[in-house]
A and B are shown apart, each in its own frame.
Chain A
Amino acid sequence: EVQLAESGGGLIQPGGSLRLSCAASGFTFDRHAMAWVRHTPGKGLEWLSSMSPGGVNTYSAGSVKGRFIISRDSSKSTVYLQLNSLRADDTAVYFCARGSEKRQLVYDFWGQGTLVTVSS
């Protein structure tokens, strides 16, 4: 059974940093692209960043480029999102998602999300 489990969220002060983790199981991790998407009640879903199956190519939304960094560790079947210089409007539920085998940029499995709250 495919499972994605996010962790690392919490309350952080503006300007701070967090590293989110997404542990994958139930599939061959190296065959799939992975992505991070966040959700806020006001804006809905926002695509943040994705990484190709081998980790060679990464892509990020302009709104977070330079602040959020995606990475993956194949030995641990885990994808990470490093969040830096956090702002109040980064408050959201952060989801990791798996790219499907047929279409790597279509997300067929999602984790349950981890809440990040940026507040002083």
Chain B
Amino acid sequence: VLTQSPGTLSLSPGEGATLSCRASQSVYSNSLAWYQQKPGQAPRLLIYDASSRATGIPDRFSGSGSGTDFTLTISRLEPEDFAVYYCHHYGSLPRAFGQGTKVEIK
């Protein structure tokens, strides 16, 4: 089970964001990804292997962590970054998603 916090983050453009994802058991081989989803759109891969940026993802997005605690950091929020973010454990079954963190404009 993956638990994300906070549920909602209210921030202004230009501010930094820190999103947390905690696993109930140690994540095998740091097999943890982060996805961004905007209303009415498909999810978009941001980070895989806990800290590797996917192709085309700006460097203001970074991932860190190991074991059971992982973090997605957005260094300076751009208007297009306001969305819901999900962590995803893919190393073993069940390949669960967290419940999501909504980053909204303050």
Given A95-B42, A107-B45, A44 and B86 contact (CB-CB distance below 8 Å): yes
A47 touches B45 (CB 8 A): no
B64 within 8 A of partner (CB): no
Give complex CA distance A37, B90 in Å: 13
Chain B residues contacting A103 (CB-CB under 8 Å) are 48-49, 90
Main secondary structure of the interface of B (DSSP, over half): loop
Give complex CA distance A45, B35 in Å: 10
A105 touches B31 (CB 8 A): yes
Q: Which residue of A lies closest to B32 (CB)?
A: A106
> Taking beta carbons and an 8 Å cutoff, which residues of A are in contact with B?
37, 39, 43-47, 50, 59, 61-62, 95, 97, 100, 103, 105-108, 110-113
Given A106-B48, A106-B90, A108-B54, A44 and B42 contact (CB-CB distance below 8 Å): no
Q: How far in angstroms is the closest Cβ of chain A from B51?
A: 13
Give complex CA distance A106, B19 in Å: 20
Show 8 A/B contacts (Cβ-Cβ < 8 Å), sorted by A: A45-B100, A47-B95, A61-B94, A95-B42, A103-B48, A103-B90, A106-B48, A107-B43
Residue interface mask B46-63, A partner, CB < 8 A = 1: 001100001100000000
Q: How far in angstroms is the closest Cβ of chain A from B89?
A: 9
Give complex CA distance A43, B100 in Å: 9
